[in-house]
Amino acid sequence: MGYRYSDDGIIVVRLSIEIYAESLLFLQLNLIMSSLQLTNIGQLVSYNSKISGMETLEKIQIAIDDGIITEIGNKVNDADRHIDCKGKLITPGFVDSHTHPVFLNGREDEFAMRLKGTTYKEIATKGGGIINSVNDVRNASQRELFDRVFSRMNRFLSVGTTTIECKSGYGLNTESEIKSLKVIDEVNNSHKIDMVATFMGAHAIPVEFIDDPDEYVKLICDEMLPAVARQGIAKFNDVFCENGYFNIEQARMILSEGANKGLVPRLHAEEFENSGSAELAAELGAVSADHLMNVNDVGIEAIAEAGVIATLLPGTTFFLGSSNYAPYKRLENAGVNIALATDYNPGSCYIHSMPFIIALACIFMKMDVMSALKAATFMSAKSLQLEDKIGSIEVGKQADMVIWDLERIVQIPYNVSNHPIRNVIKSGELIF
């Protein structure tokens, strides 16, 4: 048994066990405790279900038992362990409700091509983009993918993300999509972070079906969705509804067939062009329509009426060097619920930090900080249908929170490039 530093700068203990070593390593740091008391909290900022809005409490204490928040008040019961928060800020752990982490290698060569002026879509047309990651994933063993995904989850947790939605979608055949979902499940079972799986066989048309995309849609409906439902890991079904990927009819077919099999629809909508995919999300009662950079007033009206959450991903606009941010103000004025997420993926957005996404939302979409925090916690939990368990600091909820080395929430986006986090608490366990 020796010691080393992992890529993340986290001290890990090297065990001589070969299998899934990295998974055991990260957990060594957790201080497992049955009850915990947080005192001397300067400010607690969180969604409050009783008032249906954000709330700031000052000079407050929190009691946690068995991973659940049991008390919030001026003086709570003593516990086995105690953390003095030294007058600092506490927020809920972040919920990242849109990521694509099951890939093998980064695609930095495409990033370099974009710096020379080639667009994301042009790269995809030349066989790069999502398809570039597919060969890797098809050839990778489950173990190789496990290791990559596991160490990515360390990074997410270290910047305060306590629950994360993870999509498959770089396998694009039954075997490799099932393998990707299995990897998500295995990492979820061995890592402190909570992962929620989404099947995204409809991420791109694989090369073998390029001349007959409808045949691939048929494969998704007749073979993949039944296999995914039998496997029982995925909760959601997502489609990249976009010119050059899946059209409205194809997306409708895939999401309806998935819903028949118990998979809740969510949708990549209006990312590069307006196609009416927001209206489709409304028609199908999707839980979320994501991206929406090119949504028009008809689409906004439709999702407002249907109660579809708009998951905005400003990291993608930023990473692609575009200035076309989603129309936050118009969505907000129409009464649409807004969530924020990273869209972490190897192509269009290699960003894993929710605090950075909050900064982008504030700076470029003019979101006020309180709304951005709500969107990155409670609303993203709602888009995963988990708002009764996570997304806010309330009695009865899972104790997922961030203790900052900051006093005020405006300091979160103000510290654009560093995240002064003192502790992450996940299900009542101290991670750092």
Q: Taking CB under 6 A as the rule, does residue 343 contact ligand NIG?
A: yes
Name the token pair of 271: 């990312």
Of 150-158, 345-353, 378-386, 394-402: span binding ligand NIG (CB under 6 A): 345-353
Determine, following the binding rule CB under 6 A, whether residue 22 of this chain makes contact with ligand NIG. no
| Least CB distance to ligand NIG at residue 210 (A) | 17
DSSP lists the bridge partners of residue 96 as: 164
Q: What is the DSSP letter of 93?
A: P
The Cβ of residue 66 has, within 10 Å, a number of other Cβ atoms equal to 12
Contact partner at residue 346 from ligand NIG, Fe ion, none, CB < 5 to 8 Å by partner kind:
ligand NIG
Q: Which is nearer to Fe ion, 257 or 343 (CB)?
A: 343
Torsional class of 320: left (φ above 0), alpha (ψ -120 to 50), beta (otherwise): alpha
Tell me: does residue 129 bind ligand NIG (CB under 6 A): yes
* β-bridge partners, 339: 311
Cβ 199 vs Cβ 235: under 8 Å:
no
The contact mask relative to Fe ion for 326-365 (x = CB under 5 A, - = no) is: -----------------x----------------------
The single residue among 41, 57, 130, 409 that binds ligand NIG, judged by CB under 6 A, is: 130
Q: Residue 347's binding partner, choosing from Fe ion, ligand NIG, none, with beta-carbon cut-off 5 to 8 A by kind? A: ligand NIG
CA atoms within 13 A on the CB side of 145: 29
Q: Tell me if 110 contacts Fe ion by CB under 5 A.
A: no
Q: Is 262 left (phi over 0), alpha (psi -120 to 50) or beta?
A: left
Q: Counting contacts by CB under 6 A, is residue 316 touching ligand NIG?
A: yes
CA distance 54 to 375: 11
Please enumerate in sequence order all residues whose Cβ is within 8 A of that of 280, keeping only pairs 6 or more positions apart, or say none: 241, 248, 251, 252, 255, 267, 269, 286
Q: What is the DSSP letter of 207?
A: G
- 135/271 Cα distance (integer angstroms): 25
CA distances from 310 to 164, 175, 247, 330, 343 (A): 17, 32, 20, 11, 13
**Shortest distance (Å) from residue 100 CB to ligand NIG:** 5
93: nearest Cα among 351, 350, 428: 428
Residue by residue, what is the 3-state secondary structure of 5-47? ECCCCCEEEECCCCCCHHHHHHHCCCECCCEEEEEEEEEEEEE
Q: Of the two residues 120 and 150, which places its CB atom closer to ligand NIG in the complex?
A: 120
Q: With binding defined as CB under 5 A, does residue 238 bind Fe ion?
A: no
**Does residue 242 bind Fe ion (CB under 5 A)?**
no
Q: Which is nearer to Fe ion, 92 or 258 (CB)?
A: 258
Residue bearing tokens 């991420």:
203
- Binding ligand NIG (rule: CB under 6 A), the pick from 57, 61, 85, 100 is 100
Based on the shown chain and the rule CB under 6 A, indicate whether residue 206 belongs to the binding site for ligand NIG: no
Q: Determine which residue in the list 61, 97, 99, 133 makes contact with ligand NIG, applying CB under 6 A.
A: 133
Q: How far is the CB of 322 from ligand NIG (least distance, A)?
A: 12
Asked whether position 347 contacts ligand NIG by CB under 6 A, the answer is yes
The binder of 156, among ligand NIG, Fe ion, none, by C-beta within 5 to 8 A per type, is: none
Residues near ligand NIG, by CB under 6 A: 100, 129-130, 133, 240, 268, 271, 316, 343, 345-348
Residues near Fe ion, by CB under 5 A: 343
